[in-house]
Structure 1
Amino acid sequence: MSSPRKQTTAKHTPQLRHRTSNVAPDVMDPHMSRHKSAVASSLDDIIISPRVPSTVRPARGSPDVVEGDEVELSLLDGDERLRAEEGFADDELATMKSKTISAKDRRAMVLLIILYLIQGVPLGLALGSIPFILRDHLSYSQLGVFALSNYPYSLKLLWSPLVDSIFIPSIGRRKSWIIPMQLIIGSMMLYIAANAERLFEHPADNIYELTFVFTSLVFFSATQGGSGWALTLLSKENLSFASTCQTIGLNTGFFASFTVFLALNSEVFSQKWGIPRLTLTGYLQSCSILCFAVTIWLVFFEKEGRESLDKSEMTVTTVYKTIWDICKLKHVRSLIIMHCFAKVGFQANEAVTSLKMIEKGLGREDLAIVVLIDFPFQIIGGWLAAKWASGSQPLRPWIWAFGPRLAFALLSTLIVYWFPTPPLSYSFLVFLVIHTVLQGFASTIQFVGISAFHTRISDPLIGGTYMTLLNTFTNLGGTWPKYFVLKGVDFFSVAHCTVKDTDTELVVKAAECVSELGKEQCSNIGGECVTEQDGYYYVSVICVTFGVIFLVSYIIPTARRLQALPTRRWRVGSE
C-alpha cells in the first residue's frame, strides 16, 4: 500500500504539470535589470530559469522568464539537462537528436519566438532605454520612482496560478490570456506614442503617470507569457527547443528596445551614418502594429492544442498553499534571506553608473555599441560557466564570483570619478569594453551557478513552483534596492546655484540642482550649478561595503552549509 504522501502526489501530479509551467518570473537579475558593467543592459533582474520538470517525469517544456539586475540566459548544456531532468538514456538522446524538426514544429518555434519578442519589447523600454531618456530631465529620486515599473516581472509568481487556472475552454488555456494581453499591450503602446510629446517634454510633471503607464505595460507583458503553450505547440521530441525560443525572442525584443533603439534614437548616430533618427513615437507605433498583427493571426489562424483537464488537477488554493509550505522550510528561509540581500553590493553600479557615465559625456550610441559587443561574450562565458557549475558544488562558482563583481563595482566608481573629458579616445572605449565583458562574465558565472543549485534542490514533484519561487526572490534581490539607491544619490548630494554679477557673487540654494532640468533652471537665471558633494560616490561605497560584510559574515558560511545538505532536506514535509 502506498503512503498517504505518495497518494496525494499521484493525485495532484497532472495539475502541477499545467499549473506550474506558466509560473516563472524575471525581465527583463531580456542581462531582461542587469547593468553588469557600467554600461551593461538591464537584464540581470530577469532570469530565464533552467527547465525543471514539474512532476516526477513529465513536462519537458516548462521554461519561463523569471526576468532580470536585470534577461539572463539559461546556458546549461542541453544534453546534460535532458539526461538529468528527463532520465533519457544515451541511445534515446541520440535518437532524438537524429530526428529532423517537422514543418509544424518550425512554425510553432517561429510563433513562440515572436510571442517572446513582444514580451521583451516593454522590458527593454522600461528597464533599459526610457531611464536614459528621462535622465536628461529628472533627478535620481524621480528616477527611483520610475524604477518601480520594474517590479511586476519580479512578482509574477503572485498571480501566475490565477492566469493558469482561469480561462475560456472554447478559446484555449493560453490564448484566453495571450490575446487580450497583447491587445492591451498594443493599445498602451499607441497611447504612449500619441502622448509622447506631452509626457517626455516635461517628464518631471508627469512622473507618476509615466510610472503608472510603464508599470502597467510591464505587468501585462509579464502576464502575456506564452511559455506554457509550448507544451501543446511543440511535439514531445522537440520540447527542449522551447528554452531556445525563449532566449532568442526575449533577448531580441529587449535589445531592440534598449540597445538598438538608443543608438537609432541618437541624433549624433543618425547624423554620423546618414540615416533618419528613430523617434520613440515611431518605434512604439511599429511595435503596436506587430502586436496587433500577431494577435489577429492567433485569433483566426492559430488553434491551441487540447490539454487534458480532469478533476484531479490542483486548485489555485492548493498551488498557493504549496508555495507557502516551501517558504516555511528552514533552509529555504535561509536561502531567501541570502537572495534578498546578496545583490545590494552591486546596486549602485547597476542602477547609477551608466547614467553617471552618460552625464560625464559618454554618448548613448557608444553605450549601445559597448552593450552589443558584450552580448556574444556573455554567450561564450555562459557556456564556460555552465561547465564549471555542473559539478556537485554549483554554489562554489557563485561564491567565487562575488569578489570580482564587488571589485568591478568599485572600479566602476573610480572610472566615473576619473572619467576623461570628451571626446573619448578609442583606447578608453576599448578599456570600457574589456571592463564590461569581464564584469558581465562574473555576473554570468553567478547566474549559472545559482540556477544549477536551484535545479538541484527543487522537489521534482513541484519543480515548476519550487524553481519559480526561488527565482522570484533572486529577482527581488536585484529589484527592491534600486529605488533606495537612486533616492540615496540625491540624498547625499549637495549642490547649489551660483549667480555672479559685476559686484557680488550670489549663492542660490536651489531645491534641485542635480538633474539637467535643475541645471537648466539655474542657467536661466544666469547661474551655474556647483556640486559640492556627489551622492553617487557615497552610495557606491555604502553598497560595496555592505556587500563585502554580508558576503563574509552570511553568504559564504550559509551557502556552504546549504550546499552540503542532502536533497531530501529540501523536500516539503521533511521537517
Structure 2
Amino acid sequence: MENKNQSSSSLNQRRQHEKSPTNSSFDNDLDEKSISIQKSKPNLKGDYMNIAILLFLYLLQGIPLGLISGIPLIMMNRGIDYSEQAIFSFSMWPFSLKLLWAPIVDSVYSSRFGRRKSWMIPSQYLIGAFMIVTSYYLDSMMNSIEGPNIYSVTALFLILNFLAATQDIAVDGWALTMLKPCNVGYASTCNSVGQTAGYFLGYVVFLILESPHFANYFRQEPQDVGLITLDGFFYFWGIVFIIVTTLVLLFKSEQPTIHEEEDSTIRETYLKLIQILKLGPIKSFTIILLTCKIGFSIADAATPLKLKEAGLPMDHIALMAIPLLPLQVALPWIIGRYTNGPRPLDVFLRAYPFRLIFSFLVAGIVWWTRVLYAKYTYFPAYYYVFLIIIYCFHQVIVYSMFVSIMSFHAKISDPSIGGTYMTLLNTLTNLGGNWPNTLALSLLDYINLSYCSLDGSFCFIKSNKTHIHDDSCIEKDAGNCVLWLDGYYTLTFFFALIGTLWYFWSYKLIVRLQSIPKKQWLCPNSLKRRES
C-alpha cells in the first residue's frame, strides 16, 4: 500500500528537544533515561493484549481502504466509463491530504477522555453508523436504471475514507503510548500487518465473494448474484465497528506516559510545516515527489480495469493478489538492506527505467488478454502463471522505489520534529501518485480513435460503453461507432515518454540532493538550537 502515510500524531517523539533551557539538567536526565529504555530489548510481557487491540484497530482501518480499491471493478459492470472512474478516484485522496487536519487531531482533545480516544472513538462510531445507514441506500445508488450516481458514490466513499484517515491519525499516535517504550517498534508492525489484513478482507475477500462467477462454482443452478452483496458487507462491518468501538471505550483506558510532554499548539505545528516547505532542498525534492509517478500513472490506474474490460473475471483479478502477499511482506526487509546506506535513492534511480518498461509490458498483457478471450472465451492456465510471474517482478520494482524513497525521508528528516517532517514528505509522495492517476483516468475516454461502421468517418465513443451508438452514427441510419485504437495504449506511450524525459531531467538533481549536508534539511528553529 503506497498511499499509507506516517501520522503526524508521532510528534511526541521529538518533544524532548523542545524544552525550556531553564530545565536543561532535568531534561538531560530524562533524555538519558529515555535512551536507556529505548535501547532495552523488547519484552512483550504485558503488551500482548495491547498488540492485539492495535492489530484489530488497524484491521478495521483497512476495510474501507480495500472497499474503495474494489469498487471501481464493480462499477465496470454497471457501465461506468473512465472519466467517471476519474471522479471516483477523488475518494482515495484523504489519506494523501490528512496532514491538513492531522495537527488538529494531535492538538485538540479532552484530557479526561483521553488524547487519542477523543478522536478515535467518535471516528469509529461514525464509520460504523455511516456504513449501517448507507447500506440501505447502496443498492439504489449502484444499481439504478441509469447506472450508478457517480457523484453520490464518490461522496459516500470520500466521507468514509476521511473518517478512516482521521482514525489512522489517532491510532498511530495511541500506538506510541499504548505499548511499553521497549516495544514501541512493534507499532509499525501492527500497522503494516493489521492494515494489510483489513485491506485483504475489504478488497480480495469481498470481490471474490461478491462475484457471481465465483459463487456459481458452488451452485447447481447459476445465478447473477454472489455469495454476499455490497450492502450486506457494509451492514456487517458497520455492526463490527460499533461493537469493537464500544468494547474499547468501556474496557481500554488511555494513560499518558511520563515521556509525553506538553503539546504543540495547532498554530505552532502549521508554522513548522511552512518553515520546512521554505527550505531550498525541500522545494526541489517536492517537485521530484509530485512528478515522479507521471510516467507510469496510466498503467497503475487503469490496468486492472482494462483487464476486467478485456474479459478477465473480477474474482480472478482479486485471487491474483493472494500469492503476492508473502512477497509484499518480505520485500521491504530484503530491499532495506540496500537502502540503508548514505545514498538510498540510488536504488530508486536504478528501478525507475524498469518501471517505465513494465508500463509497455502490462499494456501488451491487456492486448493479449483481449486476444485470448476472443479466441477461447476463457483463459488457459499458462496465462495465469505468466500473469502472476510478471506481477511478482512488478512488485519488486514498485517496492524498490517505495522503500528507497521512505529511507531517504528518514535520512533527511529533522529528528526534533520528526513526526511533522515525515508526515509532510509522505503526504507529498502519496499526492504525487494520486493526481497523475486521476488525470490519466479522466483522459482515457477522450483519446480513443473510433470510426463509423457506415462510412468510416470519425466518431466518438467511450471505452466502457461500446454498446452505445454515437450520435453522429445514429443520424446515419443507426450505424455503429467502432473502436479502432484504445486510448489506453496511446496514453501508455505518451506518459512513458514524459517519464523518460523526466528521468533524464531529474537524474542529476536526485544525485545532488543526496549529497546535500544534513544541516540544510533541518528546520531553521532546530538549526538555531543546535548552533547555540
Give the TM-score, by structure 1 length: 0.80
SS of equivalent residue, structure 1 residue 530: strand
2:419 counterpart SS class: helix
Q: How does 1:76-225 map to 2 (within 5 A)?
A: 96-97=41-42, 99=43, 101-102=44-45, 104-126=46-68, 128-136=69-77, 137-202=79-144, 204=147, 206-225=149-168
1:567 equivalent to 2:525? Answer no
SS at match of 1:277: coil
SS at match of 1:532: strand
| Corresponding position: 1:359 with 2:309 | yes
User: Cα offset for 1:46?
Assistant: 2.6
2-structure distance, mates of 1:233, 1:293: 21
Show the counterpart of 1:407: 357
In 1, Cα distance between the equivalents of 2:2 and 2:383? 25
CA–CA distance in 2 between the matches of 1:199 and 1:206?
A: 6
- Which 4+ stretches in 1 moved above 3 angstroms? 47-54, 56-59, 86-89, 202-205, 273-276, 307-313, 494-498, 505-513, 524-529
Cα distance, 1:528–1:47 mapped onto 2, change above 3 Å: farther
Check conservation: 2:7, 2:172, Cα contact below 8 A: no
Alignment of 1:324-403 (within 5 A): 324-403=274-353
- 1:378–1:437 contact (8 Å) kept in structure 2: no
Within 1, Cα distance between the matches of 2:108 and 2:452?
Answer: 57
Residue number in structure 1 paired with 2:173: 228
Quick one: which amino acid aligns to residue 514 of structure 1? Answer: S
Aligned length: 492
Which residue of the partner structure matches residue 394 of structure 2? Answer: 439
| Matched ranges for 1:66-81 at <5 A | none
Pick closer, same or farther for the CA change 1:497–1:140 going to 2, 3 Å: farther
Q: What SS does the aligned partner of 1:169 have?
A: coil
Q: Does 1:550 align with 2:508?
A: no
**For residues 44-78 of structure 1, what are the alpha-carbon distances to aligned partners after superposition, in whole Å with 9 as ceiling and x for unaligned?**
2235589898327699xxxxxxxxxxxxxxxxxxx
Could you tell me how far apart the structure 2 residues matched to 1:332 and 1:252 are? 34
Which moved further from structure 2: 307-316 or 377-386? 307-316
**Structure 1 residue 294 corresponds to structure 2 residue 244:** yes
Alpha-carbon shift at residue 417 of structure 1 (Å):
2.2
TM-superposed deviation, 1:317: 0.4
Is contact 1:142-1:204 (8 Å) kept? no
Given that 2:96 and 2:430 are in contact with CA atoms closer than 8 Å, whether structure 1 keeps it comes out as yes
SS at structure 2 position matched to 1:168: coil
Aligned CA distance change for structure 1 residues 490 and 163 (closer, same or farther; 3 Å):
same
The percent of aligned pairs where both chains have the same amino acid is 32
Deviation larger for 430-439 or 362-371:
362-371
SS of aligned partner of 2:482: strand
Paired with 2:17 and 2:36, the residues of 1 have a C-alpha distance of 12
Q: 2:14 aligns with which of 55, 58, 78?
A: 55
Asked if the contact 1:345–1:544 (Cα under 8 Å) also holds between the matched residues in 2, the reply is yes
What is residue 27 of structure 2 aligned with on the other side?
none
TM-superposed CA distance for 1:298, in Å, is: 2.0
Q: Partners of 1:190 and 1:401 in 2: how far apart?
A: 44
Q: Name the residue aligned to 2:414.
A: 459
Partners of 2:11 and 2:420 within 8 A in 1: no
Report the Cα offset of residue 470 of structure 1.
0.6
- Residue type matched to 1:152 in 2? P
Once the two structures are superposed, the pairs formed by residues 412-423 of structure 1 within 5 Å of their partners are: 412-419=362-369, 420-421=372-373, 422-423=377-378
Partners of 2:451 and 2:36 lie apart in 1 by: 67
| 1:285 and 2:230 correspond | no
Gaps of 5+ in 2: 19-33, 221-225
Cα pair distance change 1:52/1:157, threshold 3 Å? closer
- Provide the C-alpha distance between the structure 2 equivalents of 1:393 and 1:119, rounded to a whole number of angstroms: 34
Taking a change above 3 Å as real, the CA distance of residues 569 and 414 of structure 1, as seen in their structure-2 partners, is: same
SS of the residue aligned with 2:483? strand
Structure 1: any 5+ residue segments left out of the alignment?
1-42, 60-85, 499-504
- In structure 2, how many angstroms separate the alpha carbons of the residues matched to 1:429 and 1:528? 34
Decide whether aligned partners of structure 1 residues 512 and 198 sit closer, same or farther in structure 2, where only a CA change above 3 A counts. Answer: farther
Q: 1:175 to 1:53 in 2, by over 3 A?
A: closer
Shift of 1:477: 0.6
Deviation at 1:313, TM superposition (A): 3.3
Between 1:208-217 and 1:299-308, the stretch displaced more is 299-308
* TM-score (norm: length of structure 2): 0.86
Which whole-Å deviations, capped at 9, do the CAs of 1:128-177 have from their partners, x for residues lacking one? 11011112221100100011111111000000000111112221111111
1:514 aligned onto 2:481: no
- The aligned amino acid for 1:236 is P
Does residue 478 in structure 1 map to residue 433 in structure 2? yes
Corresponding residue for residue 272 of structure 1: 217
Take 2:330 and 2:379, find their aligned partners in 1: how far apart are those partners?
Answer: 28
**For the aligned residues, what is the CA RMSD?**
2.9
* Counterpart Cα distance in 2 of 1:306 and 1:376: 36
Conserved 8 A contact 1:347-1:485 = yes
